[in-house]
Amino acid sequence: MAIPSWWWPVACRRWWRTSSEAGATWERDLNVRRIGNLEPTDARAAITTPIARSDIRFSEALTDRIVDESRGYPYFIQYFCSFLIDSVPDQRAFDLDAFEELRPMLIAQLDQSFFDGRFSKLPHAEQEALIATARAGEQVRLRDVTSTGSRDVFRVAISRLVERGHLYRPSARAEVAFALPLYRDFLLRVAERRNDS
């Protein structure tokens, strides 16, 4: 039995209508939420709740310091806590002194495992724009950034850095800020190393 020539377009149209309606239902059921940095109370809970049922303890001062340094960025909260616990596996109580002692290693490890890869993949003009922005501050007006190259190249580099998620525009179009906590500090260390070499 032969299939009539009119059957294929009709069958495809029905299939397309059915699948597109199913897609619309799926999209309606999908709840997308933008997750940003945690508020201080939520960041504190992200530290204290997971260890509450264990024999590990963080002092109040240490918890406050992690919240402050991580600026509520969930990955950094996890990273700081994990680094402390993994660095001294026999220790069960951690305080600010332990953190201060391990902080240089923590920052070096964070630079190597987190920031270096993101930064080194950028084109030279974007790296230079990031360093110039870091020298100007955490959140800056673009006119206050001293760039070594062409202003047009700088503006294009800043736009690309915003698109890539390295910077964001907090309010006015002429302002930028670093999207990640501690990123500016990393960039200043990079600039210092470049000046030394």
Three-state secondary structure of 163-184: HHCCEECCCCCCEEEECCCCHH
Quick: pLDDT tens for 46-76: 999 999 999 999 999 999 999 999 999 999 9
Residue stretches of the chain with pLDDT short of 50? 6-7, 15-16, 19-20, 23-24, 26
SS3 145: coil
- Decide the pairing of beta strands 57-58 and 93-94: parallel
pLDDT at 151 (0 to 100): 86
* CATH no. of 122-196: 1.10.10
One DSSP character per residue, 9-77 reads HHHHHHHHHHHHHHHHHHHHH-------PPPHHHHHHHHHHHHTTSS-EE-HHHHHHHHHHHTT-HHHH
How far apart CA 179 and CA 168 sit, in angstroms, is 6
pLDDT at 3 (0 to 100): 55
pLDDT at 68 (0 to 100): 96
Contact between 139 and 170 under an 8 Å Cβ cutoff? The reply is: yes
Q: pTM value?
A: 0.76
